Amino acid sequence: MKSTQRQIIAIAAHIAMALFTVAAMAQTIADSPELYPGEKALYDAARKEGMVVSFDTGPTWANWAAEFAAFKKRYPEVEIVYNDIGSGATVVALDKSRNRPQADTAYYFAASGIDAAAKGVVAPFKPVNFDKLAPVFRDPDGKWFTIHTLTVAFVVNTKLVKNVPQSWADLLKPEYKNTIVYLDPRSTGVGQVVAFAANFGGGGDMSNVQPGLDYFAKLHQSGNVLRVLGTTPYAQFVKGEIPIWISYENDGLKAKYVDGLGDAVTVVIPKEASAAAPYAISLVEKGPNPNAGKLWLNFIMSDMGQGIFAQGFVRPSVPGVKLPDNVADKLPAAPQVRPLDVTAAAAKKSDIDKGWAAATGSK
């Protein structure tokens, strides 16, 4: 395991430096002020461990490659090893290796963080800025905490859609017949978050999902839904095959600014309301490099680390973090966005699954 980990260190560093330039904003800890009190002492302890093993932080997702590069530049004597296995698989891996953990930190959709905490495979740790997080974005003991969010938005191909919809109500208009694509809420996390976003837009809340179910019934009856999918159709959207995609904001911004679609894409957060899905991370219980793990988590949650996430078009979880100048206008304030309470969402999953199928006539 160790030899395999060391083999991919160089690959991870190469990907990070080749694909992202944001890490240039970082400085080494030796020639800059501390990001938080005690940072240099923690680095001294982490240096003795020499590495941090970060589960499920794939470099192409959420700007992790830039986080890797900035961390390595600031802390040159601590290497980073990662894998990319998915939220559910991460919890399974932690559970199977609980007697001899391989990971120091684990990243996942926050619902999986709750699962990991319930299984006793993650440790309490409160990083910098922890107390600034919304209560629904953190475990009270620090066994998981949100590091960034993904916001539901309309991702619109303006070559195919003349009038860009601005609201959930707009999507019901006849002009959008056979234009809308979204993911199945029964089988995908994104679909579940979309269902809650539509529910908020219809006046519902975490305890009452009926407005959202009523909305989907109207949407499907209107004939405006082109198809409901079980896997993300990003490639199809980029190819120009989808007029309106209800997905995450960062998908649209990536298509617009990274993959070359430019003005052919408009990203709209519906004006009534939307939902922000929390993505969380944890310190692993009895991980092999606990000090390096804490150093990594503190960096991610520092103002610097949060700004790097914004560079990847995901919204920082820490309120009030100043966004880098080159993304501030791309992530405008959206006060209508509500934080998703994943504990309450899990309790309502069965209601949404059954209610959505009945409302839309899906099998």
DSSP 233-246: -HHHHHTT--SEEE
CB-based contact 206:285 (threshold 8 Å): no
Q: What is the pLDDT of residue 302?
A: 98
H or E element in which residue 345 lies? helix 342-360
- The answer to whether the beta carbons of residues 207 and 351 sit under 8 Å apart is no
The C-alpha angle 47, 104, 69, rounded to 5 degrees, equals: 60
pLDDT at residue 17 greater than cutoff 50: no
Question: Is 18's pLDDT higher than 50?
Answer: no
Reduced to 3 states (helix: H, G, I; strand: E, B; else coil), residue 177 is coil
The residue that leads in pLDDT, 143 or 17, is 143
What's the confidence (pLDDT) of residue 42?
98
Rounded Cα distance between 239 and 126, Å, is 43
The predicted-structure confidence for 217-276, as pLDDT tens digits, reads as follows 999 999 999 999 999 999 999 999 999 999 999 999 999 999 999 999 999 999 999 999
pTM of the model: 0.86
Predicted confidence band of residue 363 (pLDDT cuts 50, 70, 90): confident
Residue 2: pLDDT over 80: no
Lowest mean pLDDT: which of 108-112, 116-120, 143-147?
A: 108-112
Count helices and strands (H / E) in the chain.
13, 12
User: Which pLDDT band holds residue 278 (cuts at 50, 70, 90)?
Assistant: very high
Q: Is pLDDT above 70 for 26?
A: no
Is the pLDDT at 99 greater than 70? The verdict is yes
